């Protein structure tokens, strides 16, 4: 079953939303950063990755992203409730990078998850959070949003039910963002391919 998000009339999508997807280390974040910089607007960076004390690799990834950002960009750490973060941004023209949807969805999926719980029961709540995010971005037409996500469904089928649920939920979330956006890019080996 295909999920259709119809937030803005017309076939061109939400004019203030650009969706950028692709594989790991493909250049998605760099494209979002370039587009935001080229806009000439003040930039807000909504970072969804949490820093864990025992995760040196993740910490290094966060540090590399931080070092690339110009000093005048405003960073907001938002592992949860992206919709509320969008709602509270200043009421002025800006470029906002959401980096990234795939980590955000993982945060939502793993929040207080019991090992015995079937992760698929979380689908309605997670997809509601994606819908809330889209409603919030649609309501902020003075802001240009550049949302980054990963394509995780091109590889082998995960062996765990948690891995399969994550892959499935992210595939649905990516479809929702791509349907709503006026521009969609897939980045392959550093090369952006415009899909929409």
Give CA–CA dist 141/168, Å, rounded: 30
Give CA–CA dist 143/154, Å, rounded: 32
| Residue 65 among the catalytic residues | yes
Catalytic-role residue among 65, 78, 138, 176: 65
CB 185 within 8 A of CB 23: no
43 strand-pairing partners: 95
b/e code 6-34 from CB counts within 10 Å (16+ = b): ebbeeeebbebbbbbbbbeebbbbbbbbe
Positions marked catalytic:
65
């Amino acid at each position: 079953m295909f999920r259709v998000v119809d937030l803005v009339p017309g076939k061109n999508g939400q004019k203030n939303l650009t969706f950028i997807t692709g594989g790991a280390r493909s250049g998605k974040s760099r494209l979002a950063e370039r587009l935001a910089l080229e806009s000439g607007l003040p930039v807000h960076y909504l970072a969804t990755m949490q820093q864990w004390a025992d995760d040196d690799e993740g910490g290094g990834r966060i540090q590399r992203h931080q070092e690339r950002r110009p000093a005048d960009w405003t960073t907001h750490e938002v592992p949860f409730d992206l919709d509320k973060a969008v709602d509270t941004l200043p009421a002025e023209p800006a470029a906002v990078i959401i980096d990234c949807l795939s980590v955000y969805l993982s945060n939502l999926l793993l929040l207080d998850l019991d090992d015995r719980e079937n992760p698929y029961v979380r689908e309605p709540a997670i997809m509601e959070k994606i819908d809330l995010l889209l409603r919030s971005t649609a309501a902020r037409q003075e802001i240009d949003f550049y949302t980054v996500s990963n394509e995780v469904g091109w590889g082998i089928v995960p062996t765990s039910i948690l891995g399969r649920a994550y892959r499935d939920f992210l595939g649905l979330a990516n479809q929702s963002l791509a349907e709503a956006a006026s521009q969609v890019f897939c980045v392959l080996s550093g090369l952006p391919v415009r899909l929409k």
